[in-house]
Amino acid sequence: MKTLICALALLLASSTLAAELTIKIKNVKNDSSTIYIAIYDKKENWPDGEPSHAFAAPAELDVTTASIEIPEGTYAVSVYQDINGNEKMDYNAIRMPKEPWGVSNDAPARFGPPKWERMTFDVGSEPITVEFSLKN
């Protein structure tokens, strides 16, 4: 009986630790490509470290939407649209993106990648939608 109670308590606790994060990417101009999505949960991993979650979604003209179950916490999202299909972000000679990209909160990029503090948002136990536009 104690085992059953503990298992039930664990099940209830784990079900409240995650919520659905919906990412709505606007200004998609090409629907024959892939959008790569990286979700970061640590400032020290942004922008060159490993994201906590990463996945791809087929681009849909105008607005692309993707969803993922994610634990409660503070996050930032970065995306790029892989126009040429080489599965990586392409840059010009001065490290400016050559393909459409975007970050949560439409955080501005001035003389380098957007600041972590401008990109972050909190995920609680309720579903949340984050919207931003592709640039470039």
pLDDT tens-digit readout, 5-50: 444 444 444 445 899 999 999 999 999 999 999 999 999 999 999 9
- pLDDT of residue 61 exceeding 50, the answer is yes
Residues 8, 13, 14, 15: is their CA dihedral positive or negative?
Answer: positive
Measured CA to CA, the distance from residue 121 to residue 31 in angstroms comes to 28
Tens digits of residue pLDDT in 99-113 = 999 999 999 999 899
- pLDDT of residue 121 exceeding 90, the answer is yes
State residue 4's pLDDT score. Answer: 40
Q: What is the mean pLDDT of residues 58-68?
A: 98
pTM of the model as a whole: 0.87
Cα dihedral 27, 40, 116, 118 in deg (nearest 10)? 40
State residue 22's pLDDT score. Answer: 99
State residue 84's pLDDT score. Answer: 97
- pLDDT of residue 93 exceeding 60, the answer is yes
CATH domain 19-133 topology: Immunoglobulin-like (2.60.40)
